[in-house]
């Protein structure tokens, strides 16, 4: 199985980019794994800033389950991906079956942060988008999809999102095989072809 890691700051377009690749590959034998679904159901006390949970820190994620699922997918098995509800900040009881399949796109702000996870990836991609564009996208998303207030989004951005991006997410671009800018369309074509050829080669060798 062919694993593709897609990282980048909040609002960089990871989900949109992944869905374009999914569409380009016609969805056949391809699945999408959202790292956001692996937020811990309850944030540890050390991962709070000014009384609010820090969702942009590595401490916010269930790395044990995330790594376990990636290894299972890599081995050609299916997994029950959790479903995280951003309105309640809790995991729901329902899960989403992912795999078995030929290719899995793994998107998340820290999908290239942990070395053990990076070592599982066959292709590593980083979306490098200017901060003002990322913030605007995040603002629109949080207001429309996550029941947030403008003041809360702005406060969170300056307290955790921006500093954690600079400390943890941005440095992971050094591990990427491909760095993609704001305009995705040409990159989608290139990456899709790369995935097709890579996954076919992997299949022939197994």
What's the rounded Cα separation, in Å, for the pair 128 and 28?
A: 28
Q: Are 7 and 162 in contact (CB under 8 A)?
A: no
Sequence length of the chain is 206
Contact 63, 71 (CB under 8 A): no
- pLDDT tens column, 196-206: 887 766 655 55
C-alpha separations of 4 from 9, 73, 112, 164 in Å: 17, 12, 10, 23
CB 7 within 8 A of CB 169: yes
Question: Measured between alpha carbons, how far is 15 from 42 in angstroms, rounded to an integer?
Answer: 24
Cβ burial, residue 5 (10 Å; 0-12/13-18/19+): buried
User: 34: closest CA among 75, 66, 78, 1?
Assistant: 66
Summarised one tens digit per residue, pLDDT across range 48-89 is 998 889 999 999 999 999 999 999 999 999 999 999 998 888
Question: What pLDDT was estimated at residue 86?
Answer: 85
Mean pLDDT of 149-168: 89
* The pLDDT value given to residue 185: 80
Q: Determine which of 84-93, 103-112, 182-191 has the lowest per-residue pLDDT on average.
A: 182-191
Domains in the chain: boundaries: 2-204
- Residue 125 contacts residue 7 (beta carbons within 8 Å): yes
More confident residue, 189 or 63: 63
Options 2.60.40.2380, 3.40.50.300, 3.30.2270.10, 3.50.50.60; CATH for 2-204 is 3.40.50.300
**CA dihedral (173, 39, 10, 164) positive or negative:** negative
Work out the pLDDT band at 147, boundaries 50, 70, 90.
low
Q: What is the mean pLDDT of residues 11-16?
A: 92
- Place 164 in a pLDDT band, splitting at 50, 70 and 90: very high
């Amino acid at each position: 199985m062919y694993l593709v890691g897609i990282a980048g700051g909040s609002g960089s377009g990871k989900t949109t980019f992944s869905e374009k690749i999914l569409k380009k590959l016609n969805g056949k034998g391809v699945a999408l794994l959202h790292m956001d679904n692996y937020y811990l159901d309850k944030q540890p006390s050390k991962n709070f800033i000014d009384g609010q949970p820090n969702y942009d820190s590595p401490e916010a994620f269930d790395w044990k389950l995330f790594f376990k699922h990636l290894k299972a997918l890599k081995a050609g098995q299916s997994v029950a991906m959790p479903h995280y509800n951003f309105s309640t900040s809790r995991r729901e009881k329902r899960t989403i079956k992912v795999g078995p399949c030929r290719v899995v796109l793994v998107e998340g702000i820290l999908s290239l942060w942990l070395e053990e996870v990076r070592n599982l990836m066959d292709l590593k991609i980083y979306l490098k988008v200017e901060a003002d564009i990322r913030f605007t996208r995040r603002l629109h998303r949080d207001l429309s999809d996550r029941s947030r207030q403008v003041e809360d989004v702005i406060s969170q951005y300056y307290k955790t999102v921006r500093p954690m991006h600079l400390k943890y997410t941005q440095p992971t671009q050094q591990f990427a095989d491909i760095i993609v800018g704001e305009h995705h369309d040409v990159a989608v074509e290139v990456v899709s072809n790369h995935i097709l050829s890579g996954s076919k080669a992997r299949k022939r060798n197994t």
